[in-house]
Amino acid sequence: MAYSFPEEVLEHVFSFLSLARDRNAVSLVCKSWYEIERWCRHRIFVGNCYAVSPEIVIRRFPELRAVEMKGKPHFADFNLVPEGWGAYAYPWIAAMAEAYPFLEEIKLKRMVVTDESLELISKSYKNFKVLVLTSCEGFTTDGLASIAANCRHLRELDLRESEVEDLSGHWLSHFPDSCTSLVSLNMSCLGSEVSFSSLERLVARSPNLRTLRLNRAVPLEKLANLVRHAPQLVELGTGAYSSEIRSDTFSSLADAFSACKQLKALSGFWDVVPSYLPAVYSVCSGITSLNLSYAAIPSSDLVKLISQCQNLQRLWVLDYIEDSGLEALAASCKDLQELRVFPSDPFGAEPNVSLTEQGLVSVSEGCPKLESVLYFCRQMSNAALIAIARNRPNFIRFRLCIIEPQAADYLTLEPLDAGFGAIVENCKELRRLSMSGLLTDRVFKYIGTHAKKLEMLSIAFAGESDLGLHHVLSGCDSLRKLEIRDCPFGDKAVLANAAKLDTMRSLWMSSCSVSFGACKLLAQKMPRLNVEVIDERGPPDSRPESCVVERVYVYRTVASRQRLDMPDFVWTLDEDSSMRYS
Amino acid sequence: MDSDLNLKATELRLGLPGTIDAISPPKNSKRSSPDSDSATPPPKAQIVGWPPVRSYRKNNLAEAESGSFVKVSMDGAPYLRKIDLKVYNGYVELLEGLEKMFKLTIGEYSEREGYKGSEYAPAYEDKDGDLMLVGDVPWEMFKSSCKRLRIMKASDARGLGCAV
């Protein structure tokens, strides 16, 4: 070596690298860089908790302060992963409690978190600051009480859409009077009423509070009191937004809101009484994010609200907005980047609102910055999709759910191949795509040919043969996550593209045509993949090998392929392709 | 007169009203022709996990929908009940259902005198939070504005126009 930097200098240089991707690249340069980097990495993201083990992480990174992790596959959101499959946080929490006494942040998504885990967190980390639990389950409000009581420097407690067993609202009162560090509190998923005076005092003594998302049980009459204590709020989620119509309640609320000069995001609005919506008008011009997806607001009132929000960037709304409302949105909100339209009556046989493909076409025409869409509707046409694709080549996320499975183009009765083909052909930066409707193998050919930046693809009730899956696996260079349900894709495509699976985070296939024999072969061929057969009909080897499995979940891993927490309906295959189950 | 109380409506269940969980359809159902629009589509067997709406959202929606399940309280009763307004075709069926559920009689409705000849009068809380007498507005309007039902003692309901 002609010269070499002292370690401290390199460490200082590395400290400017925040992206894991960059730090990973740095670690590959040479052994000494690997060593230096691992000692100064403070933050990691584990996309699949089974891809690595706590021991491996701890061994490599001894100085972590922030851990972010995901557990169950995405289709668990729709009940396709049986209860008890896994993704337990406890082993991680327990291992990290010993290894990282200075851990400050834990962010988990789709994991099973117990009260025990929460108590351990609250007692093990003296400097614990941030707990975010997104779509998690397994804990009760008792666990929250431990966190509130013991985490002296807590900044964020965010329970995004988690399923919490709500024993009582008493947990909130466990925040000691000395706790003044809160920056973010999201309790919107909880059912029970908390002590309002405890809540009010907590908000009043938290000068750094920026995000407050209340639960439904906080009544509208009390909202003004809370808001008055926190005019510095940037994000507010209301509780129930309904009350007897009284002018004093209204003016009190309107006054409180008008003091919030920094408010950028609004959510909540359960049980909304439209007459109270004008109370927020004074802040609308600053609002960039609006989540009305739990609010049954008629289209006309929605339009009145939205047309005041000229700086809106993100809108989540129910289909009560209808095509007319979306047209108004397109006319007023030129900065719109993300739109999600959820179904108000997803299981109804007949449409209950006048929301069609036209709404999406209008928004795609009128909003030049629109790049992320989630849209539920009941009819679609190739013509509309082609128009949308031409209007918005800048899409990065496009998720379309036509409620009726395998619904054809309602005008021509053809498959929607051409429409989705236009999306992938025009939107060259597309990273995420969810499709629905009647689709043949042809759409997958388009995807394989054009969707070179696609990272995540969700397919349901589509395709005709293995060729469809083969197009995707062989053509999509950037694919990381592929989830498929109820498609006639089977052994040939999976085995022919086995090597591809090593470059991806995971593949999920349920109610498809993959046989147990193919799963065994795949596991044999690819030692670094974990091939999990998830089947509730009993051991797969009690049936012929050609028998199709109910579900298969394939993911790359550097941990042992035998996770020790498998329930009795999950089988994984060992190196010698003998079956093991714990 | 329909004397059959729809027990399914008051049965304790998880999940949205009117849904029956079924296994997913055979994987080879690819090119089935699109469903033809018929005048009265049969109630659909629900496919697991479709449409892809998270259970968290589904559970919240069930309560957000106006006119679906509403709480019913009866003055003096220790706990409340819940009914699904969607299953009733009109006031007659609703009142019969309430009579059966709470084992009481409600009596005849008239615009002028309210509920005549009974101990109890059915009232409801509307969207604006006001307490209203059941029966004054058209059924469809009632369904969409009713937030909760309250079976009041007729003596308390005098202000609502009940003749006792």
Could you read off the pLDDT of A446-455 as tens digits, one per residue? 999 999 999 9
What sign for the dihedral angle of Cα A343, A456, A423, B36?
A: negative
Q: Which of residues 497 through 526 in chain A touch B, CB cutoff 8 A?
A: 510-513
- Closest residue in chain B to residue A352, using alpha carbons only: B65
Phi, psi of A576 (to 5 degrees): -90, 20
Check pLDDT > 60 for residue B8: no
CA separation, residue A428 to residues A283, A391, A432, A456 (Å) = 37, 13, 11, 14
Chain A residues 49-88 with a CB less than 8 Å from chain B: 75, 77-80
> How much is the pLDDT for A244?
78
Q: How far is CA A286 from the centre of its chain?
A: 26
d(CA A374, CA A367) in angstroms, rounded, equals: 15
CB-based contact B49 A80, cutoff 8 Å: yes
Residue-level pLDDT at A576: 58
The b-or-e profile of A308-346 (16+ CB within 10 A means b, else e) is bbeebbbbbbbbbbbbbbbbbbbebbebbbbbbbbbbbb
Give the CA distances from residue A274 to residues A133, A242, A279, A294, A306, in Å, rounded to whole numbers and listed in that order: 32, 8, 10, 13, 13
> Residues B9-35: pLDDT tens digits?
555 545 444 444 433 333 333 333 344
* Complex ipTM: 0.88
How far from A138 is each of A90, A93, A209, CA to CA, in Å? 11, 14, 28
pLDDT in tens, A511-540: 999 999 999 999 999 999 999 999 999 999
Check A296 against B65: CB less than 8 A apart: yes
Q: Which amino acid is at A175?
A: F
| Contact across the interface for A77 and B54, Cβ inside 8 Å | yes
pLDDT band at B85 (very low <50, low <70, confident <90, very high): confident
Confidence (pLDDT) at A103: 97
For residue A579, the SS3 value is strand
For chain A, how long is the longest CA-to-CA vector?
80
Q: What is the pLDDT of residue B24?
A: 38
Are A496 and A441 contacting, i.e. CB atoms less than 8 angstroms apart?
A: no
Among B41, B51, B129, whose Cβ lies nearest the Cβ of A244?
B129
Let me know how long chain A is: 582
Residue B3: is its pLDDT beyond 70?
no
End-to-end CA distance of chain B: 26
Residue A353 and residue A85: Cα distance in Å, rounded? 38
What pLDDT, on the 0 to 100 scale, is given for residue A256?
A: 96
Query: Can you give the pLDDT at residue B25?
Result: 39
Residue B51 — very low, low, confident or very high, per pLDDT cuts 50/70/90? very high
Residue B50 clears pLDDT 70, i.e. is over it: yes
pLDDT at residue A511, as a whole number: 97
Beta strands in chain B (DSSP E): 21-22, 46-47, 69-74, 81-84, 108-110, 114-116, 120-126, 131-133, 146-153
Mean pLDDT within B125-140: 84
CA pseudo-torsion sign A39, A40, A46, A49: positive
Predicted pLDDT at B45: 60
Q: Which residues of B touch A512 (CB under 8 A)?
A: 27
Which of A166, A244, A320, A461 is most worth mutating to test chain B (most B CB atoms within 10 A of its CB)? A461
Instruction: Return the number of CB contacts < 8 Å for A and B.
Output: 117
Tokens read off for B107: 């009596």
Distance CA B70, CA B82 (A): 5
* CA–CA distances in Å: residue A130 to residues A103, A137, A152: 10, 18, 11
Provide φ and ψ at B10, rounded to 5°. Answer: -105, 0
Residues of B in contact with A243 (CB under 8 A): 129
Q: In B65-138, where does DSSP find H-type helix? A: 91-102
**Which residues of chain A are within 8 Å of residue B69 when distances are taken between CB atoms?**
none
Q: Which of A79, A343, A345 sits opposite B55 (nearest CB)?
A: A79
Strands A570-573 and A529-534: antiparallel
Helix (H, G, I), strand (E, B) or coil at B43: coil
Residues belonging to chain B with any Cβ–Cβ distance to chain A shorter than 8 Å = 16, 18-19, 24-25, 27-32, 34-35, 41, 43-44, 46-58, 60-61, 63-66, 127-130, 147
What stretches in chain A show pLDDT beneath 50?
2, 582
Q: Which residue has the higher pLDDT, B48 or A487?
A: A487
Q: Distance (Å, rounded) from C-alpha A173 to C-alpha A195?
A: 7
User: What six digits make up the tokens of A170?
Assistant: 């008493």
Closest residue of chain A to B17, computed from CA coordinates: A347
Collect all residues of chain A within an 8 Å Cβ-Cβ radius of residue B35: 404, 407
pLDDT (0 to 100) of residue B30: 37
Peptide bond into B51 cis (omega under 30): yes
